[in-house]
Each structure stands twice: as C-alpha cells, then as structure tokens.
Structure 1
C-alpha cells in the first residue's frame, strides 16, 4: 500500500497539470499559437535555467558519483547504438527512422526527472539527479541532433551537426553551468532569485502546454511505429536501465537518476526538432503523445514495484 501511495503522490501532479492544459484547450482558453509560445518560453528559457541552476547549486564533491555517472552514460550510449542499428532494419523511411530513434532514445529527463526525484526523496535526490542531468543531457541532445542530421535529406554534414549541437539552449545552459561552477564564479543572490522564480515555471508550464497540445487524433496514423517506440521507451528502457542499476548495486537515492532517465516519456521538444530538421514530425508528435499518456501509468507501476521490493 505504501508503494501505491508513493507512486500516486509522484504521478498525480504530473497528470493534473496535463489535464488542466487539455481542459483549457477544450474550452478554448488556450489556442495552438499560445501553446507554441508557451513551448518556446519553456524550452528556450525555463528549462535551460533549470539545468543551469541545478548545476550551479549542486555540490559536485558530494553528489558526483563516478560510478553512477559512468553507468548512466554507458546506458545512454548503448541505447542510442541499439536504436541506430535496429531502427534502420525495421523502418525503410529516413524521416521516420530519425523520429523513431529520437522517440526511443531521448527522454524528458529534465522535465520529469527533477519533480519525480523530489517527490520520492526530496532535495537530496534533486541534487544527485541534477549532477546526472548536467553530464547526460548535453550528450543526449547532441546525439539526437546527430541522428536527425544523419537521416536528413540534406545528408550528414559534421560541421552543421556541430553547429546545431552548440546552438541548443539546454546544451548551452549545461556548458555554461559547468563553466561557472569550475571557475568558481558567484552570481548575486538577487539574480539567482529571479532565475529560480523563472525556472520554477518550467514544469507547470511545460505540462500545461503538453496537455493542451495532446489530441486523440495524434494517436492515429503510424500505429506500428508509434506502438513500437512507446513500448521501447516506457517498458524496455526502464527494464534495461533499472536491471543494470540494481545489478551494479544502486539502491535508494542513487537509483533515482537511473530510473528517471529510463522511465520518462519522450521529450516534448523532439517534435519541434523533428520538424525543424526534416524528420517525420507527425510521427514524432504521435510518439510524444503516446509516451506522455502512457508514462502516467508506467511511472506509477514502476515506482510501486521498486518501492515494494525495497529498491527505493
């Protein structure tokens, strides 16, 4: 019963924000242009600030675990490599290949990871998760850009790939946070307070926009590709990551970043990136919709199981 209560307390706020966003669109209080502007605000300002402040406020000496970071990095690279090998064998269309690889590999770690970590273990888990985000998120985004460029009609241009990676707001935020941390620069409290207030809007606004953008018709179309990606994202990835984490001895707080990275749905920004870089953005949107709805159930189930087995 404790596991179910914990799982419900983690999932309900995420679900509630999405429902509010969906209802606001249905009663015409939010229209598609507004959703687009909200997404721009979240992914160009709020989420980058979350990443930057998470790194800036983290205690690397205490929270940096070489074993944990190495594990998370290796699992991410293995997942990406498997996608690059398997997806081309089952999908002939390059635009669909790019969207499927991104849909499986690129999780909404920043948006879902920190709220889930805080709900389960509080601020201590947030700090450890933030360090993992600082290291992993730039690599996840960079490889997503690589996959999109690799299967684009323009062909693979490594110079263009490098420029696309360096222009990504979350990559810029992570690198800036690491630079400030390494230099030892102290930002005035008045400024960090404003940055904190802006970053606090990331989760509510992103989930509201996600809920407002969800349409049942999005779940129609490329059924086989969408279902394959949803199962891989929400079941296969968590099963692989959590099993490896437990096998390597991670428990409690240290297992949370691995769980959050694995169990989060596909990143919302993957649809915009797919459209911008010539991939199948409609399929990308279907994968986001399916995994975002499905994750409410699967995160609930994963937390229930892990808590009842005393792994978290």
Structure 2
C-alpha cells in the first residue's frame, strides 16, 4: 500500500513542482505569457513530436499493438464528441460561444504532455511506448472533433477537406509515421544523431510544464464560476468515473489502461485556449477551464494512479 502511494506521489509531485516554478517565474516577471506562447509553439512543433518519436522508436510496438484498445478509445471519443461535446453544452448553455468552449474542454485532454510523463513515472524510462502510440492516433482524432465542435457552433458547418489536410500536417502524425517506418524497415539511427534526439526529447516535460505554470491564471474564474464548476466536475470526475470502471471490466490493463486513464482523466489541453480564440468561441472561459482542470488534475491523477496500482491493474 505504501509503495503504491509513493508511486502515485512520484507521478504527480514533479509535475506540480514544475508548474509551481512556472507560476513563480511569472510572478517574478522573469518571463511573461506572450513569450511563453512562443515556447508553447516550439513545444508543439519540435519538443513533443521528438519525445513521441523517441518513445515509439524505442518500443517494439509493431508486434504489441492493442487493436481492441484503439477501437475502444475511438468509440469512447465518438460518444464523448456527441454527448459531452455537442449535446450537453448546447442544452445547458444559451450562448453558443460558451457552449463551444465547454464542449471542446470536455473532449480535449492534454494527452501527450501528461501521458508520457505519467507513463514514464510508472513504468520507467522507455516504458511509455504504448501510451505514446495511443496518443499519436488519438490526438489527431481529438483535434478533428474539437475543430468540428468549434466550427459547428460558429457557422453551423465545417470544411472536412481542410480538417483532413490539417491532420496530415500535424507534427505528431509526422513523428509517428516516421518512427513506425524506421521500425518496420529496421533502420537504426546513428548513435551521434540519436543522442541529439534524446537530448531534445529529454527537455520536453520540464519546459512544457513550466510553461503551463506560467499560463495558469485563476483571477477571472469567479465571473464564470457556475459554468466552470459544472465543466470541471464533468471533465475531471464524471467522465473518469463512467469510463474507467468500464475499461477495467473490459479487461484493459498495464500500458493500455494507463493510456485510457490519461485520455479520460487528463486536464484540458493548453492548445484549446488559442484555438477557441481563433474560432470565435469564449476565449476567457476556455483559458479558465485549462487552468482549473490542470489544478484539479494533480489530485485526480494521484487518486487514479494509487487506486489502479493498489488493485494491481497497472
């Protein structure tokens, strides 16, 4: 029991400390949010794809792919898309801009950033391959669903050709396809070059979570407190409580169950805020949802990890 408690603590404490450093850095005026937005862009375009590439390249995933797990998570995403992304926000909120921000927040977890960090804390370095591959396939689908939610609330229709092209250009997809191709062709990257790849991948978690801390701001949350409370409870409590027991009952374990835990229990992705602003949704509400779910996730991910480790499921 104590060992499982310490494992759960090791998962969340480093992430909490890194975000705390980001908050202190902002308060000390060492760096501001506009600067960190450029860092976020660098993380999305370089650091995260490199980390994803490294984890997939180092794992024998072509022979250990959980096909049923992929089908299950895609089915769950579709259910969440229609119910949590479109139906409930429109029923509960009269303002379409707020409904779009909430709908996106409910289905768009910060999967890659939290997933690999949590998986490596639990399974050790190099043990996040399954979680990484799930992310590479899940995240583009989440991006498509998020864009549809925002576009449907803005104009009532969406350009599917644009969505398809944006998925193909996604750095995560490019990194995944490249890693899988090298695995399939059994091509070894020279040690000198791979050392650089590992160095770049190694700074991802640190930089990304410090940047997340810089972005945290709960100052205006009171103005939307009712909507925030309902949305945070739905994203961080209700969705995991419904889908995690179902996942366990269906027999998912270890790396696949960890991937599902992150998919259902991670906070709303940071990228949902700039996307909401760009597509005429409620930007301030989207930013507050990112902040609130991130703070709450420290507790919820700890609880999920501790329970699943204690039950011997992960």
TM-score with structure 1 setting the length: 0.91
* Cα 1:160–1:296 shift into 2, 3 Å: same
Aligned to 1:113: 115
Q: Verify: 1:130 aligned to 2:132, yes or no.
A: yes
| Alpha-carbon separation, structure 1, partners of 2:63 and 2:125 | 14
| Alpha-carbon separation, structure 2, partners of 1:189 and 1:3 | 36
Q: What 5-or-longer segments of structure 2 have no aligned partner?
A: none
Aligned to 2:87: 85
Cα RMSD, aligned residues only: 2.2
SS at match of 2:78: helix
2:253 maps to which of 247, 251, 254: 251
1:200 maps to which of 199, 202, 209: 202
Q: Is the 8 A contact 1:138 1:174 kept in 2?
A: no
Return 45-54 or 158-167, whichever deviates more.
Answer: 158-167
SS at match of 1:222: helix
TM-score with structure 2 setting the length: 0.90
Aligned to 1:43: 44
| Alpha-carbon separation, structure 2, partners of 1:129 and 1:256 | 7
Q: Is the 8 A contact 2:111 2:269 kept in 1?
A: yes
| Alpha-carbon separation, structure 1, partners of 2:147 and 2:208 | 21
Return 177-186 or 269-278, whichever deviates more.
Answer: 177-186
1:246-285 alignment, distance < 5 Å: 246-285=248-287
Q: Is the 8 A contact 2:111 2:135 kept in 1?
A: yes
Cα drift, residue 251 of structure 1: 2.8
| Alpha-carbon separation, structure 2, partners of 1:72 and 1:214 | 29
* Cα 1:4–1:223 shift into 2, 3 Å: same
Return 202-211 or 274-283, whichever deviates more.
Answer: 274-283
Cα drift, residue 152 of structure 1: 2.2
Return 46-55 or 176-185, whichever deviates more.
Answer: 176-185
Q: Is the 8 A contact 1:218 1:285 kept in 2?
A: no
The count of aligned residue pairs is 312
Cα drift, residue 225 of structure 1: 2.1
Aligned to 2:296: 294
| 1:217-248 deviation per Cα after TM superposition (whole angstroms, max 9, x unaligned) | 14232222222221111112222231111111
Q: What 5-or-longer segments of structure 1 have no aligned partner?
A: none
| 1:261-304 deviation per Cα after TM superposition (whole angstroms, max 9, x unaligned) | 21111111111111222221111100000000000111112222
Q: Is the 8 A contact 1:79 1:105 kept in 2?
A: yes
| Alpha-carbon separation, structure 1, partners of 2:135 and 2:165 | 21
| Alpha-carbon separation, structure 2, partners of 1:155 and 1:112 | 32
SS at match of 1:29: coil
Aligned to 1:220: 222
